[in-house]
């Protein structure tokens, strides 16, 4: 069973001086919630001190200390007052043996309204209550409480492809449900994209305290935006903690999966690191390969003739071997944005080949460590960690959603709506405040709507690196590579020792390069075409019974919070699909084409009405025909509702009655 949904019961033993010091580093809004839990007194919720869900640009620019999204608009005086009240509440709680009063449902509802600054409707309240599990109840696992169901589950082996965030999650949940499974992982270790992306500076740009499974919080993240190594270690810890590692076959790559219609099962051909092949069978497959796991090299004439080293950000080799070298970085997306500040410190020459500049959110805490006081509060203050997760999640989800939506009557090449344009002006001002040289400013100021591409978290290090005396930003296009370096369209030769390709992934090639064959010999790559992945809810695909995807087509989140949340929704749905099979004593379920098509029509229409779907922008979310194949366009609350429980009418069931 999931172990850590219950609020922490670590007793507080620290003295007043320690506590007062620790409180200096904590989140004020979450602290107020903890005060209510400790005192049972909700009157603070009706006072004048209230959080404001500021827009994230303003919040970042005004952030104090280590707080990733700002302090919720509290003044210094208000924060001091809250800390003083907290100190009294904590001492009283400690001195009475750390017992808590019971809060009734109305009080909890009032707390949600207070934190969010608005009256949450019933659905939204249910959604966030489940997400942070205040009551410690795990609604997302599958409990098979009937012997017949348990027996069917035991005869339903599942293959999970990938041991990254989604695969480890699926393994934990299948394990709990008593469904046998094997995880096939092509790498020697756990972590997926976080295993492969080990370039200098690699870290997540979503707050770590929400970038984790809801049932396994990590109160020891060293940074607010954790480094790749720490994220790998977290997923490794989860696999250990829930004892699923023994079911993972490392260095094992899935080459092909073929559905056997007569047997209602999948035959999966795998290859180990020595090329030895084997066929495994399973009743269902869960693909957890993600969207960003196959590095995409740029199609540049003569790249092979370059005699120096060529390395892709997503397949990094060596450690710091670029020091003292002349390096070219191709690309200016999320990966380049993190690599460049690191390389600028040690290379003798750094040339950044930028095709389009990135928008960036001001976030002074982007590289900050989590204070010891914050770690203490997460572990010891009653319910603090749960409300802190809610705070991060809510700010990230609701803070900017409106600005992503396109107004069909808005007519500008630079923005998609009035509020998007407001954001453009704030983000432009943030860039302008960092760049004095007008020529460089011309290069780094984006001329497309915010949210047209992923907006990056910025603490000033990126633009500082571009202004390093040994760094140059080159916006002239690349014509070719030659033995000594890169030739640009103006005929100049840029001599370098190493070319770093931070050029992204084959994100539009879902489940690539596996060969997946469904009913009547239909190949997934044929059904989807080269780069047009579609699935119902991003999870199931007609003609491919019992094949389920985590982070499949149209499930990427642009502003809607942590992808871990979405993966939990998908695994919840998949488990309930299995339950439907077990309850009906059937073997396979195949998504109805019409349901799938209706859903995808809605997805396409909604995506087309966003900044990233705008014809003004190019991005990795679109396929070669301009259709958005990567992103979920809906609010995360809507997706949560859609994936809460499968509708049996959406599927054609088959199989021998069991
Ligand atoms: P990306 O966002 O697709 O960026 C690729 C960059 O390479 C773009 O600047 C692109 O220019 C440029 N490029 C591609 N082909 C080129 C060519 N032939 N010549 C010149 N420039 C070329 O890839 P990414 O930076 O690896 O990021 C992909 C996604 O991974 C992110 O959006 C994010 O979801 C995830 N990621 C997350 C983190 C994090 O959490 N911190 C870090 C890294 C990645 P154009 O924009 O003009 O096409």
User: Which pLDDT score, from 0 to 100, does residue 366 have?
Assistant: 94
For residue 186, being part of any structural domain is answered with yes
355 and 326 belong to one structural domain: yes
497 and 529 belong to one structural domain: no
Q: Identify which of 382, 344, 350 has the alpha carbon closest to the alpha carbon of residue 499.
A: 350
- Read off the pTM: 0.95
Q: Considering only 87-96, 494-503, 561-570, which range has the smallest mean pLDDT? A: 561-570
In the structure, what pLDDT confidence band is assigned to residue 646 with cuts at 50, 70 and 90?
Answer: very high
DSSP, residue by residue, 448-482:
S-TTSSPPEEESSHHHHHHTSTTEEEE-SPEEEEE
For residue 40, being part of any structural domain is answered with no
Last residue of a domain, one of 439, 470, 501: 501
**How far does residue 336's CA lie from ligand 1's centre (Å)?**
7
Cβ(205) – ligand 1 distance below 6 Å: yes
> Atom 46 in ligand 1: which residue has the minimum CA distance?
356
Contact 590, 651 (CB under 8 A): yes
Alpha-carbon distances, residue 379 vs 65, 67, 76, 132, 384 (angstroms): 20, 17, 25, 15, 8
Residue 200, token pair as written in the block:
């200098």
**How far does residue 110's CA lie from ligand 1's centre (Å)?**
42
465 and 511 belong to one structural domain: no
Helix (H) or strand (E) holding 385: helix 384-398
CATH code of residue 490: 3.50.50.60
For residue 227, being part of any structural domain is answered with yes
**How far does residue 494's CA lie from ligand 1's centre (Å)?**
22
556 and 626 belong to one structural domain: yes
Mean pLDDT of 373-398: 90
493 and 518 belong to one structural domain: no
Cβ(313) – ligand 1 distance below 6 Å: yes
User: Which pLDDT score, from 0 to 100, does residue 394 have?
Assistant: 82
User: Which pLDDT score, from 0 to 100, does residue 2 have?
Assistant: 61
Cβ(335) – ligand 1 distance below 6 Å: yes
For residue 287, being part of any structural domain is answered with yes
Last residue of a domain, one of 470, 501, 532: 501
Whether the per-residue pLDDT at 483 is higher than 70: the answer is yes
Residue 620, token pair as written in the block:
């990795």
Angle CA 473–477–481, to nearest 5: 95
Q: Is 640 left (phi over 0), alpha (psi -120 to 50) or beta?
A: alpha
Q: What's the pLDDT tens digit per position in 28-84?
A: 999 999 999 999 999 999 999 998 765 555 555 554 444 544 467 888 899 999 999
User: Which pLDDT score, from 0 to 100, does residue 21 have?
Assistant: 97
Cβ(332) – ligand 1 distance below 6 Å: yes
Mean pLDDT of 389-406: 84
For residue 540, being part of any structural domain is answered with yes
**How far does residue 504's CA lie from ligand 1's centre (Å)?**
4
Sequence-distant (6+) residues with CB within 8 A of 174 are 158, 160, 180, 181, 575
207 and 275 belong to one structural domain: yes
Last residue of a domain, one of 445, 467, 501: 501
Mutate to test the pocket of ligand 1, among 228, 297, 335, 488 (most ligand atoms within 8 A of CB): 335
165 and 211 belong to one structural domain: yes
User: Which pLDDT score, from 0 to 100, does residue 6 have?
Assistant: 66
User: Which pLDDT score, from 0 to 100, does residue 356 have?
Assistant: 97
Contact 385, 218 (CB under 8 A): no
Q: 333 lies in which domain range?
A: 303-359+453-501
Cβ(454) – ligand 1 distance below 6 Å: yes
Whether the per-residue pLDDT at 556 is higher than 90: the answer is yes
648 and 545 belong to one structural domain: yes
**How far does residue 337's CA lie from ligand 1's centre (Å)?**
9
User: Which pLDDT score, from 0 to 100, does residue 530 have?
Assistant: 84
459 and 322 belong to one structural domain: yes
User: Which pLDDT score, from 0 to 100, does residue 123 have?
Assistant: 84
**How far does residue 408's CA lie from ligand 1's centre (Å)?**
28
User: Which pLDDT score, from 0 to 100, does residue 8 have?
Assistant: 67
227 and 326 belong to one structural domain: no
For residue 411, being part of any structural domain is answered with no
Contact 220, 386 (CB under 8 A): no
Find the radius of gyration of the CA atoms of the chain.
25
**How far does residue 594's CA lie from ligand 1's centre (Å)?**
35
493-495 and 485-488 beta bridge pairing: antiparallel
Whether the per-residue pLDDT at 93 is higher than 90: the answer is yes
> Atom 33 in ligand 1: which residue has the minimum CA distance?
334
For residue 563, being part of any structural domain is answered with yes
Whether the per-residue pLDDT at 114 is higher than 70: the answer is yes
Cβ(501) – ligand 1 distance below 6 Å: no
Query: Which residues are 223's β-sheet partners?
Result: 369
Q: What's the pLDDT tens digit per position in 506-536?
A: 999 999 999 999 999 999 999 999 899 999 9
For residue 167, being part of any structural domain is answered with yes
Mutate to test the pocket of ligand 1, among 206, 334, 619 (most ligand atoms within 8 A of CB): 334
Cβ(308) – ligand 1 distance below 6 Å: no
Mutate to test the pocket of ligand 1, among 196, 313, 338, 355 (most ligand atoms within 8 A of CB): 355
Q: Considering only 116-125, 330-339, 354-363, 464-473, which range has the smallest mean pLDDT? A: 116-125
- What percent of the chain is predicted at pLDDT more than 90? 82
469 and 563 belong to one structural domain: no
246 and 271 belong to one structural domain: yes
Q: How many domains does the chain have?
A: 2
């Amino acid at each position: 069973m999931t172990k850590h949904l219950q609020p922490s019961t670590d007793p507080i033993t620290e003295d007043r001086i320690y506590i007062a010091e620790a409180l200096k580093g904590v989140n004020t809004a979450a602290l107020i919630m903890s005060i209510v839990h400790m005192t049972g007194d909700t009157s603070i919720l009706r006072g004048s001190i209230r959080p404001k869900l500021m827009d994230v640009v303003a919040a970042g620019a005004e952030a104090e200390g280590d707080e990733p999204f700002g302090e919720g608009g509290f003044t210094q005086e208000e924060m001091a007052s809250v800390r003083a009240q907290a100190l009294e509440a904590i001492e009283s709680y400690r001195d009475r043996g750390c017992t808590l009063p019971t809060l009734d449902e109305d009080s909890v509802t009032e707390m949600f309204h207070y934190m969010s600054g608005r009256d949450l409707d019933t659905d939204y309240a249910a959604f966030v209550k489940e997400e942070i599990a205040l009551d410690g109840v795990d609604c997302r696992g599958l409990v098979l409480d009937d012997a017949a169901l348990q027996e069917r589950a035991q005869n339903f082996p599942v293959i999970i492809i990938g041991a990254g965030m989604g695969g480890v999650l699926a393994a934990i949940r299948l394990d709990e449900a008593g469904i046998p499974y094997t995880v096939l992982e092509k790498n020697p270790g756990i972590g997926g994209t976080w295993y492969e992306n080990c370039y200098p500076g690699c870290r997540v740009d979503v707050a770590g305290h929400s970038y984790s499974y809801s049932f396994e919080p990590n109160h020891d993240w060293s940074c607010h935006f954790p480094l790749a190594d720490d994220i790998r270690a977290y997923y490794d810890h989860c696999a250990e903690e829930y004892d699923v590692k023994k079911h993972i076959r490392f260095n094992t790559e899935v080459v092909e999966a073929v559905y056997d219609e007569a047997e209602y099962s999948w035959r999966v051909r795998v290859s180990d690191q020595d090329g030895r092949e084997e066929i495994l069978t399973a009743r269902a497959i869960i693909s957890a390969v993600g969207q960003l796991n196959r590095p995409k090299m740029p199609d540049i004439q003569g790249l092979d003739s370059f005699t120096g080293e060529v390395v892709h950000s997503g397949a990094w080799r060596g450690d710091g071997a670029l020091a003292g070298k002349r390096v070219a970085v191709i690309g200016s997306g999320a990966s380049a944005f993190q690599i460049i500040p690191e390389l600028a410190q040690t290379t003798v020459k750094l040339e950044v080949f930028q095709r389009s500049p990135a928008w960036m959110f001001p976030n002074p805490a982007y590289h900050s460590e989590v204070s010891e006081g914050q770690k203490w509060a997460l572990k010891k203050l009653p319910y603090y960690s749960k409300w802190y997760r809610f705070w991060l999640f809510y700010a990230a989800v609701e803070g900017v959603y409106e600005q992503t939506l396109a107004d069909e009557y808005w007519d500008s090449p630079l923005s998609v709506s009035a509020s998007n344009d407001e954001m453009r002006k704030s983000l432009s001002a943030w860039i302008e405040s960092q760049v004095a040289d007008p020529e460089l400013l011309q290069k780094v100021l984006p001329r497309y709507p915010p949210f047209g591409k992923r907006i990056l978290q910025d603490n000033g290090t990126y633009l500082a690196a571009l202004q390093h005396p040994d760094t140059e930003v080159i916006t002239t296009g690349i014509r070719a590579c030659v033995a000594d370096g890169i030739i640009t369209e103006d005929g100049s030769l840029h001599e370098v020792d190493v070319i770093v390709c931070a050029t992204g992934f084959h994100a539009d090639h879902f489940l690539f390069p596996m060969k997946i064959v469904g009913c009547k010999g239909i190949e997934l790559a044929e059904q989807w075409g080269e780069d047009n992945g579609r699935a119902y809810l991003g999870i199931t695909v007609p003609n491919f019974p019992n094949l389920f995807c985590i982070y499949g087509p149209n499930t990427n989140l642009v502003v809607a919070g942590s992808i871990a949340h979405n993966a939990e929704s998908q695994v919840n749905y998949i488990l309930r699909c299995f339950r439907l099979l077990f309850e009906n004593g059937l073997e396979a379920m195949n998504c109805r084409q019409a349901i799938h098509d209706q859903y995808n029509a809605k997805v396409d229409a909604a995506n087309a009405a966003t900044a990233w779907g705008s014809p003004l922008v190019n991005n990795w979310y679109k396929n070669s025909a301009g259709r958005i194949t990567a992103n979920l366009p809906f609010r995360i609350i809507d997706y949560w509702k859609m994936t809460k429980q499968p509708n049996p009418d959406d599927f054609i069931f088959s199989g021998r009655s069991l």
